[in-house]
Amino acid sequence: MLQTTKRKSKSKVYKRLARVPAQFSSWFEGRNWEVRQYQKQMVTAFAQYQSTLLIAPTGAGKTLSGFLPSLIDLTQHPLKGLHTLYISPLKALTQDIHRNLKSPIDDLQLPISVGARTGDTTSYQRQKQRKNPPNILLITPESLMLMLSYADAPRIFGDVKNIIIDEAHSFAFTKRGDFTALALARLQHLAPEHVRFGLSATVAQPEVLATWLGRSGEPCKVLEVKSRTKPKVSILKTKERMPFGGYMGKYAVKDIYERIVAAQTTLVFVNTRAQAELIFQHLWSENTHVLPIAIYHGSLSKEQRQKTEAMMSTGQLRAIVATSALELGIDWGDVDLVIQVGAPKGVSRLLQRIGRSNHRMDEPSQALLVPANRFETLECQAAINAIKKNQLDGDTPMSGALDVLPQFILNCLCSKAASIEEIYQQVLDASPYGGLDEFTFQKLWSFTENGGYALQAYERYNRLRMQDDGLFEPTSKRIIMRHRQNIGTIVEAGRLRVKRLRRAHQGKIIGEVEEYFAQQLVPGDTFFFAGEVLKFEGIKDMIVEARPGKAKEPKIPSYVGGQMPLSTFLADGVRELLNAPESWKKMPLQVREWLRLQADFSIIPSPHKVLIEQFPFRQTEVTLLYTFEGRKANQTLGMLVTRRMEKMGLKPLSFSITDYGLSISSILAVKTQDIAQLFNPDILGDELEDWMLAAPMLKRSFRRVAVVSGLIEQQYHSTKKTMKQVTFSTDLIYDTLREHDPDHILLRVTREDAERELLDLQRLADTLIRFNGSYDFISLSKASPMAIPIVLDVKSEQIKGQGAEALLEQANLYQEAENMLQDVKDILSGTNDKRN
Amino acid sequence: MISETDLLKKIQNNKAVTSSFSGHQFVLDAAGCLYWPKHDLLVFSDLHFEKGSFLSQFANPLPRYDTAKTLAKMSLAIDEYSPQKVLCLGDSLHDSNAVKRMLEDDRDAINSLVSQVPEWFWVLGNHDPEIPKEIHGTTLPHIKLDKLLWVHEPEDLTLHIDVNAQVIGHFHPKIMVKRSGQRMTGKCFLIANNTFLMPALGQYTGGLSVNHEAITSLYQGQAEHAILFNNKVFLV
């Protein structure tokens, strides 16, 4: 039970109904549905004040289960004011739910009002909602936090009885999850009698999610509905030649199209927006039957997406090419095939995507996996094996992100003045922060108060002031206003809107592209966007202006947000597959040939040794380590090994990582005798900390931390700053803090943020010790078959060291030492001046 | 004046390169300053003192250590070259209120540097049409030396007698060098036929690409660049 201490409630105390009344069951029957067992259990749980996590496959009427107790309670005991909060990570979901709730309320003529509140809600509606809150409010975490900052928040939220958190699994273990947990802790303080219902898809460890949902030390109850069927998943068999590298999957477009023709409605999932644009274009050039095929991703304008959603729900489309933007929510019913193009990256994610097909619970979903290159086939096969064995990749809960706390502190004080202790107790109540020590909280508080030692000279950082009674409040209205404009944890890469021109500067906004992409365009350049080729004309008032064009080989919008991390679980699966040649038979012939080629030309990575290949590639020397330890550990290893190479004079230039390995390019080739020294566990030495703080990756972490903690604002005077401006400021502040205030709390926060996002020191240390001295080193004349997809991955981390200097120095070679001496003599005596 | 051995050591360590411009030999230092041995003259450009405090007035909460940092760089160069003359090529102050906002310690540090050198010249720039009298040294619109015009913004040379080339600041040139698939970016000196561009020395100064029209339209023919990278300098 969440809360047993009785608070004086404005509403009368009554007994909640623990069963589904006839009125409702007959409504279900009228639609040929039945009230399912777990829906009844949810009603009972609500009556018993029992917070519950409901885990059920898609299509099981999960969302309705969360609302049913509220509908019943509100019918039995009509109420003025807010009764139920529905928190959803997606704006689009709130609209969909709004529609779905309307049918029982209208059909049964229930005395219940419903409202939605997101970033898109008009200010008139906001005012109305604030004055007269609806019974059921559908909201995003950010909008909820904003409402909690109002002075009248206690009045608005005081009577809340039910809080539903939808798709909890999708964001619980992110910074946004920490943010939501804090909002819940605040609600706990304002409305102690509420019940929390978490709704989630199948997860590996339900108890971990239940811990997040409950209060600190009080995990809530778990109600798990098992799926009765397993999806049918297979890998595409094709006659086309499958590439060694690349991540687009263009080769398979013909096969994909054939499947679309054969199926009723198909969802084609891809991993990046750029890939969505490309696959969409190629599908249309194959589209001899002129089937209605649409595109859907997060960069398209809201109108465009809503249009596609509407067409899909009325069955007018045969296929949609979509990114993860379509993974959650919205029920469509009659999708009968899901195609995943590119590596699945995680079993849970794949299941979520597959679950989009066939929303009838009792029939198996159909899915087809299309690996983009041969290496990805291994990942696809590992995912299929895991699904067969009912294994899921789990989330690792981490202690709450600290940069969210200054935002939360200020948010609470905007609503009502409070003492440090009071807020600290509320923070402790949020489960991710249950273990937060008081000293750290004090430091975060003083950062919120005045910026901390190095920054306190600035007026703008004096955000809090102590009143005569010892309670703290924001120093000015301006502080409150600026805070409200910048609530949230999502630090966006700078984006510019795209306008499709008809004539002169007239046209429609069709979506957004990343700032850095727009900046590299020259007038006349062409790019794929929203399913057509656009010709760039210029940037005007922060809007990219472009006209429909006809080019054949356009540039493709590239999006930063596209990369999805591979779950370590799946990486292990791939390693197992590699070492079980008897299981290769399941894979396509081309892949088997590729593996044999690898075995002949180089070595297949073995389970007990790290394979290290060395070969020349594009005028540099490449060293490739197959660690299979995931991106995070590889990233850290990359930073450490290149530092060691720098010391050894091998002149490293850059490194790039994948989930499977680390590829380092350098001027000099790594030799057998270097390896022992390079991969010795002692690279995790003393100066590690200091050195890492200087790395460019930490600067990127600091950028996020600075924005979330309120050091820098993305939004200023209602105009958004470009990311370039933000970066300029944060980089300078970071350097200054490191130099003048190395103990500043934000540096610690940055370090922890990097730990969450980038580094995996523990795992790396284990790996280094485990593989100390056991490796296969092989020197090759060129890249091995297995190395190709890895070295073709262009995202690399540059090292500003001897290597780069050596490249620049090549131009200085004419300055031979002997000439130099004479030169200098002449220069200093002034004789050289006249010679020319 | 810097000793032979010290200068040679600097050149061997890529801390300086030599370059000839319009018949004169210059030493280009990795710190971003220029030394002209013939006149024992050290040149700094675009110091932009107090840019940090200027920007922090507009929701850019920048730390205020930039002036001190820039001064530290200058002080180090002056110690190394111990020149007879120092020339600051304009935009030394970021705006007309810069000196008012400046910390007293920083202002004293500037004056103490000025007093260390026998002759100190402030050439005026668009950001600093005047240098307040609290700052010591001689103020001028430009300087002519050996048929070279030293000025902040480029001028039409045909309007000057006795001048055949100019050394300017103002543009904050930077360059990106691609080699073996790697990209290196840094501030740079630009050496063309009759125009020489100084890099900006100020701590918070940004850069304009040397391929930008504003810079390429300044000269005819080829240009040579010296890139500042990792506290070293390379001719590219």
Q: Residue A167 half-sphere exposure, CB side, CA atoms within 13 Å?
A: 22
pLDDT over 70 (residue B110): yes
Neighbours of A73 (CB within 10 A): 23
* Residue among B180, B211, B225, B230 with most chain A CBs within 10 A, to mutate: B180
Nearest chain B Cα distance for residue A133, angstroms: 35
Is A618 an 8 Å CB contact of chain B? yes
d(CA A808, CA B232): 10
d(CA B55, CA A725): 11
pLDDT band at A690; cut points 50, 70, 90? low
d(CA B85, CA B118): 6
pLDDT over 70 (residue A796): no
Residue B221: give the domain boundaries.
4-235
Name the least confident of A447-456, A469-478, A487-496, B216-225.
Answer: A487-496
- Partner residue opposite A808 with nearest CB, options B2, B37, B184: B184
DSSP-assigned states of every residue in A732-758: HHHHHHHHH-TT-HHHHHHHHHHHHHT
Q: Which residues contact B70 (CB under 8 A, 6 or more apart)?
A: B47, B48, B49, B201, B202, B203
Name the least confident of A65-69, A227-231, A262-266, A545-549.
Answer: A227-231
Section A334-352 average pLDDT: 87
* Residue among B14, B38, B148, B224 with most chain A CBs within 10 A, to mutate: B38
Structural element, H or E, at residue B178: strand B173-179
Chain B positions touching A740 (Cβ under 8 A) are 63, 65
Name the least confident of A131-135, A263-267, A720-724, B180-184.
Answer: A720-724
Asked if B172 contacts B154 with a C-beta cutoff of 8 angstroms, the reply is: no
Return the number of CB contacts < 8 Å for A and B. Answer: 123
- The answer to whether the Cβ–Cβ distance between A820 and B56 falls below 8 Å is no
Token match 């007269």: residue? A132
d(CA A172, CA A183): 13
Residue type present at position A80 = K
**Helix, strand, or coil here: A517?**
helix
pLDDT over 80 (residue B143): yes
pLDDT band at B144; cut points 50, 70, 90? very high
pLDDT tens digit sequence for B146-176? 999 999 999 999 888 889 999 999 999 999 9
Averaged confidence pLDDT in chain B: 92
Residue type present at position A666 = S
Nearest chain A Cα distance for residue B62, angstroms: 6
pLDDT tens digit sequence for A97-154? 888 888 899 999 999 999 998 777 888 888 899 999 999 999 999 999 999 999 999 9
- The answer to whether the Cβ–Cβ distance between A820 and B8 falls below 8 Å is yes
pLDDT over 80 (residue A823): no
The per-residue pLDDT for A2 is 44
- The answer to whether the Cβ–Cβ distance between A618 and B232 falls below 8 Å is no
d(CA A631, CA A568): 9
- The answer to whether the Cβ–Cβ distance between A820 and B184 falls below 8 Å is no
Structure tokens at B66: 């930039």
d(CA A46, CA B137): 81
- The answer to whether the Cβ–Cβ distance between B61 and A733 falls below 8 Å is yes
d(CA B85, CA B119): 5
Nearest chain B Cα distance for residue A803, angstroms: 10
**E strands, A379-441, in order:** none
Asked if A370 contacts A298 with a C-beta cutoff of 8 angstroms, the reply is: no
B14 to chain A: closest CA residue: A809
Structural element, H or E, at residue A484: helix A477-485
The per-residue pLDDT for A834 is 45
DSSP-assigned states of every residue in A271-313: SSHHHHHHHHHHHHHH-TT---EEEE-TTB-HHHHHHHHHHHH
Nearest chain A Cα distance for residue B41, angstroms: 12
pLDDT tens digit sequence for B78-91? 999 999 999 999 99
Question: Which three-class secondary structure string do you get for A546-571?
Answer: EEECCCCCCECCCCHHHCCCCCHHHH
Chain A positions touching B229 (Cβ under 8 A) are 800, 804-805, 808
- The answer to whether the Cβ–Cβ distance between A461 and B61 falls below 8 Å is yes
| Residue A514, Cβ density class (10 Å: 0-12 exposed, 13-18 middle, ≥19 buried) | buried
Token match 């090549």: residue? A810
pLDDT tens digit sequence for A669-682? 999 889 888 888 88
Count of domains in chain B? 1
- The answer to whether the Cβ–Cβ distance between A833 and B23 falls below 8 Å is yes
- Higher-pLDDT residue of A695 and A579 is A579
- Higher-pLDDT residue of A355 and A501 is A501
- The answer to whether the Cβ–Cβ distance between A824 and B4 falls below 8 Å is yes
Nearest chain A Cα distance for residue B38, angstroms: 5
Residue type present at position A526 = T
The per-residue pLDDT for A638 is 85
Sort strands B41-44 and B195-197 into parallel, antiparallel or unpaired.
unpaired
Q: At what angle do helices A761-770 and A630-648 cross, to 10 degrees?
A: 70
The per-residue pLDDT for A346 is 83
Token match 């969909």: residue? A96
Of A306, A295, A271, A296, the closest CA to residue A91 belongs to A306
The per-residue pLDDT for A298 is 79
- Partner residue opposite A830 with nearest CB, options B37, B55, B183: B37
pLDDT band at A494; cut points 50, 70, 90? low
Phi-psi region of A686 (alpha: psi -120 to 50; beta: other; left: phi over 0): alpha
∠ Cα A48 A49 A50 (to 5°): 90
- Higher-pLDDT residue of A12 and B197 is B197
Is A804 an 8 Å CB contact of chain B? yes
d(CA B113, CA B93): 16
* Residues B43, B48, B50, B55, Cα dihedral to 10°: -160
Averaged confidence pLDDT in chain A: 83
Q: Is the ipTM of this complex over 0.85?
A: no
Asked if A313 contacts A100 with a C-beta cutoff of 8 angstroms, the reply is: no
Structural element, H or E, at residue A624: strand A620-626
Neighbours of A631 (CB within 10 A): 20
Asked if A510 contacts A498 with a C-beta cutoff of 8 angstroms, the reply is: yes
Q: Which residues of B touch A (CB under 8 A)?
A: 1-2, 4, 7-8, 11-12, 14, 17-18, 20, 23-25, 27, 37-38, 52, 55-56, 59-66, 177, 179-184, 204, 206, 227, 229-230, 232, 234-236
Is A653 an 8 Å CB contact of chain B? yes
- Partner residue opposite A620 with nearest CB, options B23, B181, B204: B181
d(CA A246, CA A320): 22
Terminus-to-terminus CA distance in chain B, angstroms?
27
Asked if A54 contacts A197 with a C-beta cutoff of 8 angstroms, the reply is: yes
Of A412, A372, A400, the closest CA to residue A190 belongs to A412
d(CA A42, CA A62): 10
Sort strands A543-548 and A495-503 into parallel, antiparallel or unpaired.
parallel
Structure tokens at B227: 């890139």
CA distances from B33 to A700, B80, B86 (A): 31, 12, 10
Residue type present at position A46 = F
Nearest chain B Cα distance for residue A703, angstroms: 13
Hey, which residues does A661 pair with through a beta bridge? A626
d(CA A170, CA A216): 20
Section A303-323 average pLDDT: 87
pLDDT band at A821; cut points 50, 70, 90? low
- Partner residue opposite A811 with nearest CB, options B66, B230, B234: B234
d(CA A7, CA A4): 9
pLDDT band at A562; cut points 50, 70, 90? very low
- The answer to whether the Cβ–Cβ distance between A736 and B63 falls below 8 Å is yes
- The answer to whether the Cβ–Cβ distance between B38 and A830 falls below 8 Å is yes
Task: Kindly state the DSSP code that residue A393 receives in the 8-state scheme.
Answer: P
Provide the CATH number for the domain around residue B112.
3.60.21
d(CA A605, CA A628): 10
- The answer to whether the Cβ–Cβ distance between B25 and A833 falls below 8 Å is yes
Structure tokens at A509: 């906004």
Distance of CA B213 to the CA centre of its chain: 21
Name the least confident of A490-499, A510-519, A816-825.
Answer: A816-825
pLDDT over 60 (residue A192): yes
* Residue among B4, B35, B182 with most chain A CBs within 10 A, to mutate: B182
- The answer to whether the Cβ–Cβ distance between A833 and B24 falls below 8 Å is yes
Instruction: Give the total residue count for chain B.
Output: 236
- Higher-pLDDT residue of A54 and A543 is A54
Structure tokens at A278: 């490309």
d(CA B90, CA B124): 5
Structure tokens at A754: 């990097």
As a whole-number percent, the residues of chain B with pLDDT over 90 amount to: 73
Nearest chain A Cα distance for residue B209, angstroms: 13
Residue type present at position B167 = V
Distance of CA A188 to the CA centre of its chain: 27
As a whole-number percent, the residues of chain B with pLDDT over 70 amount to: 97
pLDDT band at A689; cut points 50, 70, 90? low
Asked if A591 contacts A242 with a C-beta cutoff of 8 angstroms, the reply is: yes
Chain A positions touching B184 (Cβ under 8 A) are 800, 804, 807-808
pLDDT over 50 (residue A9): no
pLDDT over 70 (residue A721): no
CA distances from A343 to A235, A373, A569 (A): 11, 9, 14
The per-residue pLDDT for A319 is 94
d(CA A65, CA A666): 58
Nearest chain B Cα distance for residue A808, angstroms: 6
- The answer to whether the Cβ–Cβ distance between B184 and A823 falls below 8 Å is no
Asked if A631 contacts A567 with a C-beta cutoff of 8 angstroms, the reply is: no
The per-residue pLDDT for A444 is 94
Of A92, A93, A75, the closest CA to residue A84 belongs to A75
* B235: phi then psi, degrees, rounded to nearest 5: -80, 130
